[in-house]
Structure 1
Amino acid sequence: MNIYQHFRQEEHDFIDQVLEWKETVEEQYAPKLTDFLDPREQEIVRIVVGENQEVKVGFHGGNEGAERKRALLYPSYFNPTYADYNIKAFELSYASKFIKLEHPQILGSLMSLGLKRSKFGDIIFKEDRIQIVVAEEISSFVELQLKEIGRASVSLRLIPLENISSVKENWEESTTTITSTRLDVIVASIYNMARQKAKLLVEGSKVKVNWRLVEQPSFDCQEGDVISVRGYGRCKLISLEGKTKKDKWRLIFGKRK
């Protein structure tokens, strides 16, 4: 069976990477820890590893509701614990009464340290607290180097993983009709805007599908895709139902509450 036929062309390179990880575990008979993966990448790892008797896979992102998680591929003899995922968490201290920090600012400051996005897990906002989940191997460096976000002076305090705030993602389901599964058509329909505006948002690098920037309005969306539009929020394509009498698809989607 050709495993690639079940995935989009742009996902093939990542599939090759997963197959390489799997092969490494089989050959060395030792666990392999990945960087943080987004939910779509996690799903690909699950499918590629499958119900393999020799290689197992687990995921952990610091807490139960984490979006970004590290994967641990391991041989059947190995019994993993949370400590094997090498995850640390920090809480930000800053003048929160006078300054409001936002997700793009924090992520931008972390990336400016010269580290890959995959070394960072979730950035969590809960009331007036901000927490950052990172890979243990870069935690000391981040703690030493991250002193400023925007114009705000910040300091980091290491916290136990059990103190990470839980943020549950809830989807409010709705139904709409679409003439095609093109990205610009779906964005226009779900966010109730003109198709030309949706097209400009896509071409203007404002839209992601499954956590990947997509700039082609004609991109073909599928059931299960998660679409985020900057300034409008995130939605999930739950299912494509049958066609209406006017030959339109009935789309059930969820918007994040």
Structure 2
Amino acid sequence: MTDRELQLFRNRLSDLARQCEDRNIATHTHFLTVEEQRLAEQFILNVDGVRVISDGVFCDAERKLLFFLPSYLEEAPEEEIGCFRIEPRAAKFAEALSHRDFLGALMGLGIKREMLGDLAVTENCAQLAALSTVREVLLRELTEVKHTKVRVSEIARDELSAVRRTEIRSINAASLRADVLIAAVWRLSRTQAKESFARGEVFRNGIELENPSAELKAEDFVSLRGKGKFKLCGTEARVTKSGRLYVDIAYYI
């Protein structure tokens, strides 16, 4: 973010907190990236009678809303987030559809990325969380992904909250350097890993990472374009007698 964008973001959070306090109602942000969530932790001011909680529906959600709640509310209003399933109308004749295909179709409707939470794709079907304000657009206008006719249905929140899209893996690596971990996770040579940085294919918390020697921190999300994504777990790395590390990651499957 630029300095101006940071200030606007800070002001928006402050406005939401004040609205909650003054009007005694729940307010919320759009779906925040991991980086925005970290910034929000620094920017949110303590306001009397206002609690702040996050919600992304999925048990391992990356993108989340921040809710500002008045004292009489214990939980975020569930009606603010809709849960949806997108599936081919004729599965037998459907193309192979990827996360990028589904997301591209959604963006093609004019829906901004910040209106959408996480999207999980399994067996050629997608499940996603979205702001309820885009519900009618999704149900009425999303009819095709690539060249495949699809149907959109609203589903129960429980169907998404139970979805786990990651599996825990223990990775043997020499250090927590970004290039070292990327090479270990995707079984690349160090040269191949460094070349991916030069091509602009590595992202940390949604922002391009240019420095291969940058040390990753717990809860960092790292993606390599065309390969996948993982999150560095908060558990402490285990050191072998030879000095190598075993690091736990949550790998997106």
What is the TM-score normalised by the length of structure 2? 0.76
1:91 matched residue in structure 2: 86
Report if aligned partners of 1:49, 1:55 keep a CA contact under 8 Å in 2. no
- The aligned residue for residue 131 of structure 1 is 127
CA deviation vs aligned residue, 1:104-145 (integer Å, no higher than 9, x gap): 100011112222111112222344543232211111122222
Q: Deviation per CA, 1:18-49: give whole Å up to 9, x if none.
A: 34433443454432211122445445545654
Of 199, 208, 223, the match for 1:204: 199
Q: CA deviation at 1:73?
A: 0.9
Query: 1:175: which partner in 2?
Result: 172
CA distance in 2, matches of 1:226, 1:188: 15
Q: Secondary structure at the match of 1:154?
A: strand
217-226 or 113-122, larger mean C-alpha shift: 217-226
Aligned 1:17-166 pairs, distance under 5 A: 17-42=12-37, 44-45=39-40, 48-49=43-44, 53-62=48-57, 64-99=59-94, 100-127=96-123, 129-164=125-160, 166=162
Distance 2:19 2:246 in 1: 41
Q: CA deviation at 1:53?
A: 4.9
Greater Cα shift, 24-33 or 13-22: 13-22
Letter in 1 for 2:172: T
Residue pair 1:58, 1:73 contacting (<8 A) in 2 also: yes
- Three-state SS of the structure 2 residue aligned to 1:170 is strand
What's the % identity of the aligned pairs? 25
Contact 1:111–1:117 (CA under 8 A) maintained in structure 2: yes
Structure 2: tracts of 5 or more residues without a match? none
- Deviation at 1:172? 1.3
| Whole-angstrom distance in 1 between the partners of 2:86 and 2:156 | 10
Contact 1:63 1:162 in 2 (8 A): no
Q: Which residue in 1 is equivalent to 2:209?
A: 214
What does residue 3 of structure 1 align with?
A: none
CA contact (8 A) 1:209 1:226 kept: yes
| CA distance 1:86–1:187, shift in 2 (3 Å) | closer
**RMSD over aligned Cα, in angstroms?**
3.6
TM-score calculated relative to the size of structure 1:
0.75
CA distance in 1: counterparts of 2:151 and 2:237, whole angstroms: 50
Gaps of at least 5 residues in structure 1 are 1-8
Aligned residues between the structures? 245
Contact 1:70 1:85 in 2 (8 A): no
Does the Cα contact within 8 Å between 2:56 and 2:63 map onto a contact in 1? Answer: yes
Partner of 1:227: 222
Farther off after superposition, 88-97 or 42-51? 42-51
Determine helix, strand or coil for the equivalent of 2:25.
coil
Q: Following the alignment from structure 1 to structure 2, what is the Cα–Cα distance between the partners of residues 153 and 110?
A: 14
Is the alpha carbon distance of 1:216 and 1:142 closer, same or farther for their aligned partners in structure 2, counting shifts above 3 Å? farther
